[in-house]
């Protein structure tokens, strides 16, 4: 069994989200059609079902998490790993970068935003995963320039393929 | 039927369509080679490219991608003992030992021909079974469609998530998302919050790309390890010679693979890994030399790879004939069909027989394209294994953005894609699965509109939904499945608890 506090937390999120969904469903106008079905019928039913199914999931996931506390404490005291930390950092970094890319995609135009995104994402992953450690300054610079070239070439070639070959307009 | 095939032939045998199928196959092969990238992701990324294409060309391209991804997962499985796709797990059992003996080219040649044979055989089965099933489904009314939607949702929820409840939750989330937008009967806006882009409901493409591509990218970002460098190792392969004679000499294993793939394929949610394991087990059972399995035996590779591709034809039967997809990749394909303006189901066979037979033929052509491309390009595909993962992730994100933006030039779709991507990541991480979400999104409107239409027809009476024979059968099977899966989940939970206590 997986010991992840994220599991019960995600179940709580589902419980809260289904509650909010149910609340908003009650605010929908009640125009009744045949069989007493209103536009709110399915949203209410589904948010109710999500809530009902999420309760046992929450109980089970919480019990699983709590039941392995001893093992977890032992590991916390005896096992030291940098892996998960860098993994979370990598995940958060990519997530933030993708959101940033979405924000600048239309504002800065496709070419600039995509080149920036590609360069920063590759560079960020390299730095966070520790690939740069142990490299000389010259090699770091060389790699950085390589990533920049990759980003510009990739963005430009995709731009050409989509706009010229597939006639799909991209933001300028 | 013959007229349909003739019309279909004229649609498929055009240069543009053939090139599209070959292009899709090539992309599918590349995606299948890379462990962590799925066939569902390949076709989700290809969907925007198919927008402007005629239906047979577009769907042919997507089928090519599925076909290509189905076989190329065997490359890392054979060379590195790492399955490129979940369905090629069993390929490692005999493929890797054979490669270790210095016969990697032979193993790949067997895998390619077995996969091709499985694909062609399943196309024949598909074209024989789908039309009568669709004809039978013409008898379905609103009650049957409602029950069938519920049946489809329950069956995929019961196998897609780590537990029934989690699978059901994922399905309900998709169903709930399908209610966003203008209500189809009363014309009331639901959960649009003044956002004009939501008036027509959740666009299926951002949802598909988010759930199957962005969520996978986030997973790969989490698991990215610079130390993990894939290389083809000591194996030097210039050309994979197709091993027709040796494959057909293993006819028992081939039949076991085709049979298992075709039977497991139509079962919603069963997926390629189950089909290939069943095929492997059956082939060993019917083999004269069962002890050789696992030591680089050709029959092992033939059974697994033929099942992998036969699965697709089987999965297409309920997808095309009833509008119920067999697994994640066909769920995405179903989305692709809808984007093309094709509503899968019995009416498709009645109204657009040329298109449907064209799709069958396109699937056949995709198998030939796969055979040719794999044999000629194997050297390049082995090199694809070495593409740096970080650059690849960035490129895939760019393709996702362009694909979603291309829908109608609305940035809102990009945010929608990201929302589904994050949701999909957590759903996968915590064992809910994403296939039920997309199925809920697709089947939700069918269930809701047919329930409301049915109630209008039956003047508000609910009983016909439970008394009409077909409708009652679907609901009964769904109920039985729920009960059985709940019981299995309960037993597994009890076993887990006992293990914890004893530890």
Q: Nearest-CA distance from B354 to chain A in Å?
A: 26
Quote the Cα angle for B319-B44-B436, to 5°: 55
Q: Tokens in use for B312? A: 């697709």
Residues in chain A with CB shorter than 8 Å from the CB of B461 are 35
Burial class (CB in 10 A: 0-12, 13-18, 19+), B32: buried
Q: Whose CA is closest to A61, among A10, A95, A112, A117? A: A10
Give pLDDT tens digits for B290-312: 888 888 899 999 999 999 888 88
Q: Nearest-CA distance from A45 to chain B in Å?
A: 9
* A to B CB pairs, distance under 8 Å: 177
Average confidence score pLDDT of chain A:
84
Q: Nearest-CA distance from B425 to chain A in Å?
A: 11
Please give chain B's pLDDT, 503 residues, in tens.
777 788 888 888 999 999 999 999 998 888 888 766 777 778 888 887 887 788 899 999 999 998 998 888 888 888 877 777 777 788 888 988 998 888 888 899 999 999 999 999 999 998 999 889 888 888 888 899 899 888 888 877 776 667 888 989 999 999 999 999 988 778 889 998 888 888 888 988 889 889 988 998 898 888 776 655 555 555 566 556 788 888 899 899 999 999 988 888 877 656 666 788 888 888 888 888 888 888 889 999 999 999 988 888 888 888 888 887 767 778 788 878 887 888 888 888 888 888 889 999 999 999 999 999 988 888 788 777 777 778 888 888 998 898 888 777 888 999 999 999 999 999 999 989 888 898 888 888 888 888 988 888 888 888 999 999 989 998 998 899 888 888 887 887 777 777 767 76
Give pLDDT tens digits for B250-287: 899 999 999 988 888 877 656 666 788 888 888 888 88
What whole-number distance in Å separates Cα of residue B381 and Cα of residue B362? Answer: 23
Domain-wise residue ranges, chain B: 2-502
Answer whether A38 touches B (CB < 8 Å): yes
Comparing CB atoms, the residue among B225, B459, B500 nearest residue A34 is B459
What whole-number distance in Å separates Cα of residue B6 and Cα of residue B394? Answer: 44
Residues in chain A with CB shorter than 8 Å from the CB of B390 are 121-122, 125-126
Comparing CB atoms, the residue among B168, B399, B430 nearest residue A6 is B430
What whole-number distance in Å separates Cα of residue B482 and Cα of residue B170? Answer: 15
Do the Cβ atoms of B422 and A95 come closer than 8 Å? yes
Reduce the DSSP state of residue B226 to 3 states and report it.
coil
Contact check, Cβ <8 Å, B390/A28: no
Task: Give the sign of the dihedral formed by CA B496, CA B498, CA B500, CA B503.
Answer: negative
């Amino acid at each position: 069994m997986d010991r992840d506090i994220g599991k019960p937390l995600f179940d709580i999120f589902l419980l809260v989200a289904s509650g909010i969904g149910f609340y908003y469903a009650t605010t929908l106008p009640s125009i009744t059609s045949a069989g007493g079905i209103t536009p709110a019928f399915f949203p209410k039913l589904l948010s109710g079902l999500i809530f009902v199914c999420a309760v046992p999931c929450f109980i089970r996931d919480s019990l699983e998490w709590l039941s392995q506390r001893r093992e977890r404490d032992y590991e916390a005291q005896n096992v030291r790993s940098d892996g998960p930390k860098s993994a979370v950092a990598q995940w958060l970094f990519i997530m933030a970068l993708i959101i940033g890319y979405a924000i600048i995609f239309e504002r800065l135009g496709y070419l600039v935003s995509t080149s920036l995104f590609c360069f920063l994402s590759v560079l960020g992953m390299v730095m966070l995963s520790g690939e740069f450690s142990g490299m000389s300054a010259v090699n770091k610079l060389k790699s950085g320039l390589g990533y920049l070239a990759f980003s510009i070439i990739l963005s430009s070639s995709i731009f050409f393929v989509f706009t010229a070959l597939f006639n799909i307009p991209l933001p300028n | 039927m013959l007229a349909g095939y003739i019309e279909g032939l004229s649609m498929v045998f055009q240069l543009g369509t053939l090139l599209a199928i070959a292009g899709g196959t090539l992309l599918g092969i590349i995606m299948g080679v890379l462990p962590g990238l799925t066939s569902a992701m390949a076709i989700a990324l290809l969907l925007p490219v198919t927008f402007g294409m005629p239906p047979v060309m577009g769907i042919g391209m997507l089928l090519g991608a599925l076909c290509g991804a189905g076989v190329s997962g065997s490359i890392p499985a054979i060379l590195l003992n790492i399955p490129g796709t979940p369905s090629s797990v069993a390929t490692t059992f005999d493929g890797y030992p054979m490669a270790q003996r210095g016969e990697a080219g032979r193993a790949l040649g067997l895998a390619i021909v077995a996969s091709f044979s499985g694909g062609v055989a399943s196309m024949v089965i598909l074209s024989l079974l789908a039309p009568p099933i669709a004809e039978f489904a013409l008898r379905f009314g609103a009650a049957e469609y409602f029950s069938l939607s519920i049946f489809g949702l329950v069956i995929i929820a019961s196998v897609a998530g780590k537990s029934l409840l989690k699978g059901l939750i994922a399905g309900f989330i998709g169903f709930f998302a399908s209610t966003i937008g203008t209500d189809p009967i009363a014309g009331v806006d639901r959960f649009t919050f003044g956002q004009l882009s939501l008036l027509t409901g959740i666009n299926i493409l951002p949802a598909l790309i988010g759930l199957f591509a962005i969520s996978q990218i986030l997973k790969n970002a989490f698991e990215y390890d610079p130390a993990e460098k894939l290389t083809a190792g000591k194996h030097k392969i210039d050309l994979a010679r197709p091993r027709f004679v040796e494959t057909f000499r293993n006819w028992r294993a081939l039949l076991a693979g085709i049979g298992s793939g075709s039977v497991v394929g139509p079962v919603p949610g069963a997926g390629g890994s189950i089909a290939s394991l069943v095929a492997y087990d059956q082939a060993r059972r019917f083999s004269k030399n069962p002890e050789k399995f696992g030591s680089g035996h050709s029959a092992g590779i033939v059974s697994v790879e033929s099942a992998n591709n036969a699965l697709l034809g089987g999965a297409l039967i309920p997808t095309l004939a009833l509008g119920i997809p067999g697994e994640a990749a066909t769920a995405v394909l179903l989305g692709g069909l809808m984007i093309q303006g094709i509503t899968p189901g019995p009416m498709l066979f009645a109204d657009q027989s040329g298109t449907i037979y064209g799709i069958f033929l396109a699937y056949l052509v995709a198998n030939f394209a796969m055979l040719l491309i794999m044999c000629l390009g194997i050297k390049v595909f082995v090199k694809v294994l070495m593409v740096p993962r970080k650059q690849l992730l960035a490129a895939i994100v760019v393709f996702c953005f362009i694909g979603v933006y291309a829908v109608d030039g609305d940035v809102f779709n990009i945010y929608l894609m990201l929302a589904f991507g994050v949701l999909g990541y957590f759903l996968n991480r915590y064992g809910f699965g994403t296939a039920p979400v997309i199925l809920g999104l697709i089947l939700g409107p069918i269930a809701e509109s047919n329930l409301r239409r049915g109630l209008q027809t039956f003047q508000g009476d609910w009983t016909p939904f439970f008394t009409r024979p077909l409708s009652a059968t679907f609901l009964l099977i769904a109920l039985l499945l729920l009960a059985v899966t709940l019981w299995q989940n309960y037993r597994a939970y009890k076993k887990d608890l006992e293990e914890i206590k004893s530890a």
